[in-house]
């Protein structure tokens, strides 16, 4: 959205260049404010670079009716040109005030070498940079994991330093506060599974097995995956944004100078909170999913409620329940680590915080899917 | 020298400010005249930054009026308020630079929004503003790559982006070395004299207060109201208020 420009009809500014012996005279006239159309410095540049080098450049501004920093920018450009050509400039002819502002602008010399140069990179250079970047990212990740492992070691020896009250709050945020959304989504997933199953099973008159399908699917993986994804979007992103903002405000540096380990102080409680809460949420999601299946089973398929539950109970092996819990514990670790890692490595700008939150979610979901695949293969090999 | 005859630019009448039930200041009454360098002074936490927020339309006063020449800030309609505020430039106490833009982009943003100047000229204006605050050559730096005092100066350059008529500076010299602080004072005087702007400065810097201020208001943190206003140099000569005397003499007797 572009707001209305300050002026509609552009007033005119004029600049006449005359050569007077060894001196170039730049006569300015008209309106030189924000809305004006101003001439370019071509004429002045031509006069400066003429065959005969002028000795000096003077300004004249009798005809100027109004000006602001645009006039200054214009004159500054001329001064730079003159400087490059080795011509002395006299600003005394500029409007009252403009001359002294110009002097102020050139008073502190430009920091040479401070300005960044855009350099064109060759293809090979870019490939090399990407490769180095990947190497560095892997190094960073390993370093982070190492720090977390050390922190966990300290925790086991009872020497980790963090605030217990903070931990309680994090547990509440990750557990209790997530219940409504977990309820809704798992219930819906249960409903959907039951629906999809029912259509197929009805053809064989085997509706009662809807309870088996929903039960096994929810308890074994779906409950854990759904909570994992919800927590990735909810809590993982929040961790990244929170730690990222602390990074921006130098709060993490402050922690460090107080002698606290940011990993122990910030990462550990978040990790604990999620590792404790994820399995509980997963059990809760299992129940909600089964409830969803039950709604479809009893209302749509007319299965006897008691029969539905007893069938679920009998047909879902207990091993599935444990597998589901293993999934969710692993997901808890992954989501917490991804969120905290992105947050701790965040840059120092609002944009970087946004990127940290986004990549925390992407990383967690990717990790969840990969972990699921690995656990499934392992279970297959072990025959459970 | 600014004469008393200069017309009022902002008049504050009967102003109370509060956060919820917590009243920060009550019964503020003062006039900022055109061409003033108006100093807002007072102890830490007395409500100076809050007063600036009220003056620039970021916070609604609990009671009272902020009268600009063009109308009462909190009573005119939205469009008129935008028009009034477009003539103001603000330096926030913590800089408030946009962290994901370079310094040049920070200054260019308002210019891109409010003018139709070509990109090259906008860039040139941004460089000019940076040069004015002594940051020539730092166009392509991000706010996280410059020092605290430089953030302050860049914020000042951004406040001046649109050549505003009224400038509000919240502690411009905090974090600057004495030489840069002095240069800044010169710049403020120069902006007032050359661009005929009105400038409101929150500062604790006694040297600056006396060097640049020609009008001021003192907010007393104990009584929660203003206890003095006028030329700071005259106040130093004449005041009988113990707190103000303390403030202006750094607590010496
Ligand atoms: N958002 C807020 N909510 C509640 N109280 C606030 C809020 N912001 C500021 N305050 C209170 O208002 C008072 C004035 O704050 P303000 O920032 O205006 O002080 P100040 O005069 O600018 O101080 P300093 O010189 O330290 O910058 C303080 O007591 C502060 O606690
Ligand atoms: Mg303040």
Pick the closest to residue A96 from B87, B167, B212, B190 (CA basis): B190
For the segment A324-343, what is each residue's pLDDT rounded down to a tens digit? 999 999 999 999 999 999 99
For residue A97, name the pLDDT band (cuts at 50, 70, 90).
confident
Shortest-distance Cα residue to atom 9 of ligand 1: B50
CA distance A129 to A121: 10
Average pLDDT of chain B to the nearest whole number: 88
CB contact under 8 A, B99 and A350: yes
CB contact under 8 A, B194 and A97: yes
Tokens representing residue B211 in the block:
């060097």
If one compares A113 and A281, the residue with the highest pLDDT of the two is A281
Pick the closest to residue B109 from A279, A22, A2 (CA basis): A2
Contacts of B115 in chain A (CB under 8 A): 5-6, 34-35
CA distance A235 to A336: 8
DSSP class per residue in A183-231: HHHHHHHHHHHHHHHHHHHHTTT-GGGHHHHHHHHIIIIIHHHHHHHHH
Instruction: Identify the pLDDT of residue B2.
Output: 46
For the segment B27-45, what is each residue's pLDDT rounded down to a tens digit? 999 999 999 999 999 888 8
Residue B45 CB less than 6 A away from ligand 1:
yes
Could you tell me the CA-to-CA distances from A79 to A34, A84, A240 in Å, in that order?
A: 21, 8, 49
Residue B208 CB less than 6 A away from ligand 1:
no
For the segment B188-214, what is each residue's pLDDT rounded down to a tens digit? 998 888 888 999 999 888 888 999 999
**CATH 3.40.50.300 residue ranges for chain B:** 3-87+166-248
The partner residue sitting opposite B140, judged by closest CB among A100, A108, A115, is A115
Instruction: Identify the pLDDT of residue A7.
Output: 47
Report chain A's terminal Cα–Cα distance, integer Å.
Answer: 59
CATH number of A13-107: 3.30.750.24
Could you tell me the CA-to-CA distances from A373 to A230, A322, A367, A368, B71 in Å, in that order?
A: 19, 17, 10, 9, 68
Which CATH number, 2.40.50.140, 1.20.1250.20, 3.40.50.300, 3.40.190.80, labels domain B3-87+166-248? 3.40.50.300
pTM listed for this prediction: 0.77
- Give B36 Cα–ligand 1 centroid separation in angstroms: 25
| Angle separating helix axes B148-159 and B119-132, nearest 10 degrees | 130
CB contact under 8 A, B132 and A248: no
Average pLDDT of chain A to the nearest whole number: 87
Instruction: Identify the pLDDT of residue A112.
Output: 65
Residue ranges per structural domain of chain A? 13-107, 140-382
Instruction: Identify the pLDDT of residue A9.
Output: 57
For residue A4, name the pLDDT band (cuts at 50, 70, 90).
very low
Instruction: Identify the pLDDT of residue A60.
Output: 86
CA distance A235 to A364: 11
CB-based contact, B74 to chain A, within 8 Å: no
- How far from chain centre, in Å, is Cα A88? 51
Residue B178 CB less than 6 A away from ligand 1:
no
For the segment B142-173, what is each residue's pLDDT rounded down to a tens digit? 998 898 888 988 999 999 988 899 999 999 88
Distance to chain A for B124, nearest Cα, Å: 6
Gyration radius of chain A over CA positions = 35
- Dmax (CA) for chain A in angstroms is 110
CB contact under 8 A, A96 and B194: yes
Whether complex ipTM tops 0.90: no
Share of chain A above pLDDT 70, in %: 95
């Amino acid at each position: 959205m572009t707001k209305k420009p300050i002026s509609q009809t552009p007033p005119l500014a004029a600049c006449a260049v005359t050569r007077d012996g060894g001196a170039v005279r730049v006569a300015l006239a008209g309106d030189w404010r924000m809305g004006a159309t101003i001439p370019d410095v071509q004429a002045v540049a031509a006069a400066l670079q003429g065959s005969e080098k002028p000795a000096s450049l003077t300004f004249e501004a009798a005809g100027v009716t109004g000006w602001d920093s645009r006039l200054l920018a214009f004159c500054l450009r001329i001064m730079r040109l003159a400087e490059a050509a080795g011509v002395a400039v006299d600003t005394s002819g500029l409007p009252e005030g403009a001359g002294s502002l110009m002097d102020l602008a050139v008073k502190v010399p430009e920091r040479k070498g401070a300005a960044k140069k855009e350099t064109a990179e060759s293809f090979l250079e870019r490939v090399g940079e990407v490769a180095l970047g990947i190497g560095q990212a892997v190094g960073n990740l390993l370093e982070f994991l190492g720090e977390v492992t050390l922190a966990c070691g300290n925790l086991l020896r009872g020497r980790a330093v963090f605030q217990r009250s903070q931990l309680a709050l994090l547990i509440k945020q990750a557990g209790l506060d997530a219940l409504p959304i977990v309820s809704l989504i798992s219930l819906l997933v249960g409903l959907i599974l039951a629906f999809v199953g029912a259509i197929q099973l009805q053809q064989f008159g085997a509706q009662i097995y809807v309870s088996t399908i929903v039960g096994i699917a929810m308890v074994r993986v779906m409950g854990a995956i759904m909570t994992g994804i919800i927590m990735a979007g909810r809590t993982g992103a929040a961790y990244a944004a929170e730690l990222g903002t602390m990074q921006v405000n130098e709060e993490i540096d402050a922690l460090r100078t107080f002698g606290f380990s940011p990993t122990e102080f910030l990462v550990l409680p978040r990790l604990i909170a999620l590792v404790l809460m994820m399995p509980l949420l997963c059990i809760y999601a299992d129940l909600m999913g089964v409830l969803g299946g039950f709604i479809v089973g009893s209302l749509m398929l007319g299965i006897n409620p008691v029969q539905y539950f007893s069938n679920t109970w009998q047909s879902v092996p207990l091993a599935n329940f444990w597998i589901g819990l293993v999934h969710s514990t692993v997901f808890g670790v992954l989501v917490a680590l991804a969120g905290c890692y992105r947050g701790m490595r965040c840059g120092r700008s609002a944009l970087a915080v946004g990127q940290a939150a986004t990549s925390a979610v992407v990383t967690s979901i990717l990790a969840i899917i990969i972990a699921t695949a690995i656990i499934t293969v392992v279970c297959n090999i072990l025959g459970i | 020298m600014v004469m008393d005859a200069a017309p009022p630019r902002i008049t504050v009448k009967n102003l109370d400010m509060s956060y919820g039930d917590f009243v920060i200041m009550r019964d503020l009454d003062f006039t900022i005249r055109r061409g003033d360098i108006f100093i807002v002074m007072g102890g830490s936490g007395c409500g100076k930054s809050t007063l600036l927020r009220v003056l620039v339309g970021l916070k609604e006063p609990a009671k009272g009026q902020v009268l600009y020449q063009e109308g009462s800030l909190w009573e005119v309609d939205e469009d008129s308020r935008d028009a009034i505020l477009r003539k103001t430039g603000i330096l926030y106490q913590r800089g408030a630079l946009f962290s994901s833009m370079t310094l040049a982009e920070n200054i260019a943003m308002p210019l891109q929004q409010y003018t139709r100047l070509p990109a090259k000229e906008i860039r040139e204006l941004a460089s000019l503003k940076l040069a004015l605050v002594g940051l020539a050559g730092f166009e392509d730096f991000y706010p996280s790559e410059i020092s605290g005092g430089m953030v302050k100066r860049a914020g000042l350059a951004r406040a001046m982006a649109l050549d505003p008529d009224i400038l509000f500076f919240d502690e411009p010299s905090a974090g600057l070395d004495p030489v840069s602080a002095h240069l800044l004072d010169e710049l403020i005087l120069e902006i007032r004299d050359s661009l005929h702007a009105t400038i409101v400065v929150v500062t604790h810097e006694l040297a600056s207060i006396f060097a640049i201020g020609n009008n001021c208001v003192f907010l007393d943190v104990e009584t929660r109201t203003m206890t003095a206003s006028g030329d700071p140099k005259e106040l130093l000569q004449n005041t009988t208020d113990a707190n103000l005397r303390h403030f202006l003499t750094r607590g010496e007797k």
